[in-house]
C-alpha cells in the first residue's frame, strides 16, 4: 500500500525503532508510548484491520502471536503484559494497517474501556 505509513516503516522509508523482525512480522516502538514498554507489532503484508483478516492472510496474523512471547521475553515482561488492537471508528483505529499494541512494564489499569 503506497500511502500506508506502516508499510513505509516496514520498507524502511520512514525510520522506526525496530525491536523485532522476521519474514512475516515487524515490531517497533510506538512514537507516543502509553506505558514503559509500548511496541507495535504488524504483519509485513498490508492488512487494513482486524476486520480484514481472512483465510488468505490469517497465517501472518498467527505469526504475530508467535512473535509476541519472544518480544515480551526480550523486553523483560516477566509479570505479564497487554495486547490490544483497535479496529475501525468505534475502536479509534488511527492507522489503517493492522497492528497490535504490546503494553507492559508496569501494572496496567484494570479498565480497558
Distance CA 35, CA 57 (A): 30
Please pick, among 38, 46, 97, 99, the residue that the annotation labels catalytic. 99
Stretch touching ligand 5GP by CB under 6 A, among 18-26, 61-69, 92-100, 102-110: 92-100
By CB under 5 A, tell whether 46 contacts Zn ion: yes
Closest CA to 98 of 66, 36, 50: 50
By CB under 6 A, tell whether 5 contacts ligand 5GP: yes
- 8 Å CB contact between 30 and 39: yes
Contact footprint for ligand 5GP (CB under 6 A)? 5, 14, 16, 28-32, 40, 86, 92-95
Amino acid at each position: 500500500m503506497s500511502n500506508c505509513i506502516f508499510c513505509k516503516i516496514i520498507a524502511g522509508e520512514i525510520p522506526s525503532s525496530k525491536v523485532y523482525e522476521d519474514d512475516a512480522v515487524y515490531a517497533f516502538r510506538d512514537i507516543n508510548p502509553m506505558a514503559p514498554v509500548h511496541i507495535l507489532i504488524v504483519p509485513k503484508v498490508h492488512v487494513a484491520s482486524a476486520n480484514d483478516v481472512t483465510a488468505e492472510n490469517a497465517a501472518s496474523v498467527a505469526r504475530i502471536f508467535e512473535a509476541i512471547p519472544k518480544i515480551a521475553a526480550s523486553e523483560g515482561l516477566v509479570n505479564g503484559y497487554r495486547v490490544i488492537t483497535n479496529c475501525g471508528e468505534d475502536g479509534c483505529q488511527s492507522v489503517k494497517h493492522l497492528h497490535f499494541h504490546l503494553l507492559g512494564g508496569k501494572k496496567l489499569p484494570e479498565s480497558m474501556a
